[in-house]
Amino acid sequence: MEAEIKKKIKEKIEHIRNEIEQGKPPQNEAHTCIVVINPLIFASGYTSLDVLPGGTDAAGSKPDYTVMPYTEYKWYIEAKDWSVQLKPDHVTQALNYANQNGKKWVVLTNGEEWRLYDNSIMGESKDKEVCTARLDNPDELAELLTALSKDSVESGGLEEFAKRARARKVLDCELKDEKSQVVNAIVNVLKKKGIPGVKPADVAGYFMSIFRENREQVEQKPSITNEPKPDGTFNLVELSKKYLNYSKPETVYFPGGSSVNVSSWKDATIKIVERVLNLKGVPKLPFKPEGEGGFRCFLNSKPVHHSDGEPMKLYGVIDHQGMKVYVDINRSASNFIRQLIGLCKAVELPPEDFRIDVEFRKSS
């Protein structure tokens, strides 16, 4: 059952990420709830009867969500706007719901970052944080949401998850500190195993290298964010790793050094496809990149997605040596880049040879 729930949650996370990358990120708190938070709550095994949105609790407060409200397992979610960075006063607000109602668990989230707090832990609010997971790390977030699933909460799985998560947090600190009791205990064990001369700094250094490798692997994953990026010139592969909503292409640079000014991603895409066809000819039509799902094609000899298929809603036309090639342009900027990379690979052109000047603008 746990594996099935986790699989369902991961699929929903990927769906949400894809939807956001194809369109705009959530525009306000209510939109964040509709687009991100609600689907993930329901993917975690809850029904509409299990979740009370925006109700007033016994203390007169109004948590954004009260989950399993009429049971002993009641817990809370405090939601924030997708564009809002989570701050200490948000944590205090979230924990107040648990304090005022004598409950243990509360989640604080802006849709992208999810934090689980255990209000039974003594100390400051930062001490009550069990773990943090992000939408751009599906495995990590799926693990947290699986622990928060209805079956897990009712069976004690959330308690076990929290114990492991807190242990990891402590070990992350202790194992990197050469003065910690944990590191010195490991040194003593190694000495007993016949390895003389091992110092606490050696042990701490070993674990620091492991943590650094794990951190670098996570950082390599592109993050979904609507913060503005530095303007600059990027090749197609570099652009595939960036969030392109609210961006505007200005100049396209072709292999060999020539360039052309453009005013939109549709314009840039048409110019690049046109140059690819001039350099390598027309690929077999209808064309869509290898591994690309769905029924839509990127290029075709008619303005349809297959020989007798769905009409292209928006398309551009390229005249190539007396032949008309239709380009599906009903796509997002990120999708355009993915299609262009697929086209370059199909005709054996390095996608890195195409570069674009891009202006990044913050959402309004």
Token pair listed for 81: 């706007």
pLDDT at 61 over 80: no
pLDDT at 246 over 80: no
Question: To which residue do tokens 């551009």 refer?
Answer: 316
Q: Identify the weakest region by mean pLDDT among 80-89, 305-314, 324-333.
A: 305-314
Q: Identify the weakest region by mean pLDDT among 45-59, 221-235, 297-311, 312-326.
A: 221-235
pLDDT at 329 over 50: yes
Tell me the pLDDT band of 307, cut-offs 50, 70 and 90: low
pLDDT of residue 228: 46
pTM: 0.58
Q: Which of 231, 70, 68, 234 is nearest to 151 (CA)?
A: 68
Instruction: Please state which CATH number belongs to domain 2-171.
Output: 3.90.1570.30
Cα separation, 108 vs 87, in Å, equals 10
Mean pLDDT in residue range 273-288: 94
pLDDT of residue 294: 67
Amino acid at 86: L
Cα separation, 266 vs 327, in Å, equals 10
Supply the DSSP symbol for 360: E
pLDDT of residue 362: 57
pLDDT at 75 over 60: yes
**Number of residues that make up the chain:** 364
pLDDT at 257 over 90: no
pLDDT of residue 342: 95
pLDDT of residue 364: 44
pLDDT at 217 over 60: no
How does pLDDT run across 12-24, given as a tens digit for each residue? 998 898 887 766 6
Mean pLDDT in residue range 199-217: 74
Which has the higher per-residue pLDDT, 183 or 295? 183
- What is the per-residue DSSP string for 125-152? GGGGEEEEEETT-HHHHHHHHHHTSHHH
Cα separation, 314 vs 99, in Å, equals 54
Contact 182, 188 (CB under 8 A): no
Q: Where are the domains of the chain?
A: 2-171, 175-219, 232-360
Mean pLDDT in residue range 43-53: 94
Mean pLDDT in residue range 27-53: 95
Question: What angle do helix axes 157-174 and 181-192 make, rounded to 10 degrees?
Answer: 80
pLDDT of residue 32: 94
